[in-house]
Homo-oligomer: A and B are copies of this chain.
Amino acid sequence: MTVPTLLSPDVRSDRCGDCPIRYRAVCSHCEADQLAILDQMKSYRSYSAGDTLIWAGEPVSKLGSIVKGCASLTRTMEDGRRQMVGLLFPSDFLGRPGREASPYDVIAATDVTLCQFERESFETFLGATPQIGNRLLEMTLDELDAAREWMLLLGRKTAREKIASFLVILARRDALLNKKFPGDHAKFDMIISRESLADYLGLTIETTSRQISALKNEGIIRLTGKRMVEVPDFDRLLRESGEDA
């Protein structure tokens, strides 16, 4: 049962056929008849920035896709040290079939709209629909690649390279979303606070802030407001990130 009043303004209708993530989400390989079933099973739910969608270790009865917004996955140690272990963007899947609980907190980084399913009915459908399972495997392999890329960043990159690498990811995302070339002049929102960014990069807030200031002072990036970033020369930024071409 869908709840139209919970739709965010950007989600034009509650029918799967109109969904902005129709061709990228877990349902992307589904045929029309399978989609009709998902359409019946799904419901939308909205969260505000800062809300915790899932608490680490708590069993969760819902699974679903991010339709709009951005959520973070975070692990916290007893003494309070925190490490962000992933960022979820629209079309990314939330929750793991066959697993009751998540080993990390999931927190809305911005306002988030979720397309969610009951775990049980989704798992039944998954068992009967190989397209879903295949797509889920693809997406999980992509997440694994991203996680391992991030391990290299956390283990071996300097603070400056870490910041630059993060900005490269956002600039590429901006180019993709706005159908520009990756080399073009990019302008995008940093999405997360300095504190979250520090948690993502394995740094302190202070070091994070200092390195951003340094990149700004050297003209590699330009800041408008606290969160908007412009990248006049993408290749220069890329060189700072320690990546190969």
List A residues at the B interface (Cβ < 8 Å).
73, 75, 77-79, 81-83, 85-86, 96-99, 103-104, 127, 130, 133-134, 136-138, 140-141, 143-145, 147-152, 154-156, 201-202, 242, 244
Task: Decide if A156 touches B242 in the complex (CB within 8 Å).
Answer: no
Instruction: Determine which residue in A96, A147, A244 has the highest number of CB atoms from chain B within 10 A of its CB, and name it.
Output: A147
Considering the chains assembled together, what is the distance between the CA atoms of A83 and B147 in angstroms?
13
In the assembled complex, how far is the CB of residue A34 from the closest CB belonging to chain B, in whole angstroms? 15
Considering the chains assembled together, what is the distance between the CA atoms of A140 and B148 in angstroms?
13
Task: Decide if B138 touches A98 in the complex (CB within 8 Å).
Answer: yes
Residue of B nearest to A136 (CB): B137
User: Which residues of chain B are within 8 angstroms of A78 by Cβ–Cβ distance?
Assistant: 242, 244
A144's partner among B77, B81, B144 (CB-CB below 8 A) is B144
User: Which residues of chain B are within 8 angstroms of A151 by Cβ–Cβ distance?
Assistant: 75, 83, 85, 147, 150-151, 154
A140's partner among B83, B104, B137, B152 (CB-CB below 8 A) is B137
Can you name 28 A-B pairs with beta carbons within 8 Å? Answer: A75-B151, A77-B242, A77-B244, A78-B242, A79-B242, A82-B156, A83-B151, A83-B152, A83-B156, A86-B148, A96-B141, A98-B138, A98-B141, A104-B148, A130-B133, A133-B133, A133-B134, A133-B137, A140-B140, A140-B141, A143-B144, A147-B147, A147-B148, A150-B151, A154-B154, A154-B155, A155-B201, A155-B202
User: In the complex, given contacts A104-B148, A147-B147, what are 5 additional A-B residue pairs having Cβ atoms less than 8 angstroms apart?
Assistant: A79-B242, A83-B151, A98-B138, A136-B137, A144-B144
